C-alpha cells in the first residue's frame, strides 16, 4: 500500500469511526461508509491539512470513493 493510501485510510477511519477493513479503495464515502455531506466536507478539509494541498470544490465533488481521494492526492503531490 502506498504511503498516500495509508494516510488517507487513517484519516477516514478516524473521522468516520469505521472499521479499517471496510475502508477499501472502492468504498464510497456516503453509500458504504455512512458519511453525510458534512462528513465529506470534514474529510476534504482533513486531507487538505494532512497533505498540505488545496482541494477546490469542483475537484472535491469528484472524490466519492477512498480510491478517488488517493488518486487525487497522489496526483497533486506529483504536480
Partner 1 sequence: MFDLSGRTALVTGATGGIGGAIARALHGQGATVAVSGTRPEALEALASELGERVHVLACNLADKDAVEALVPQAEETFGGSLDILVNNAGVTRDGLLMRMKDADWDDVIAVNLTAAFRLSRAAVKGMMRRRRGRIVSIGSVVGAIGNPGQVNYVSSKAGLTGLTKALAAEVATRGITANLVAPGFIASPMTDSLNETQKGAILGRVPMGRLGEGHEIAAAVVYLASDEAAYVTGQTLHVNGGMAML
Interface residues with partner 1 (CB under 8 A)? 36, 38, 42, 45
Question: 6 or 14: whose CB is closer to partner 1?
Answer: 14
Is 36 in the active site? yes
d(CA 48, CA 16): 17
Least distance in Å: CB of 42 to partner 1?
Answer: 6
**Annotated catalytic residue: which of 3, 21, 31, 36?**
36
What Rg do the C-alpha atoms of the chain give, in angstroms?
11
* Between 31 and 36, CB nearer to partner 1: 36
Place of cell 453525510: 36
Q: How far is CA 12 from CA 41, 70, 72, 76, 79, in A?
A: 12, 11, 15, 19, 24
Q: Closest separation between CB of residue 45 and partner 1, Å?
A: 7
Residues tagged active-site:
36
Amino acid at each position: 500500500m502506498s504511503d498516500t493510501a495509508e494516510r488517507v485510510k487513517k484519516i477516514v477511519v478516524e473521522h468516520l469511526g469505521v472499521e479499517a477493513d471496510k475502508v477499501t479503495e472502492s468504498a464510497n464515502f456516503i453509500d458504504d461508509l455512512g458519511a453525510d455531506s458534512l462528513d465529506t466536507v470534514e474529510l476534504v478539509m482533513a486531507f487538505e491539512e494532512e497533505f498540505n494541498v488545496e482541494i477546490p470544490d469542483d475537484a472535491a465533488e469528484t472524490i466519492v470513493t477512498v480510491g478517488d481521494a488517493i488518486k487525487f492526492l497522489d496526483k497533486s503531490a506529483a504536480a
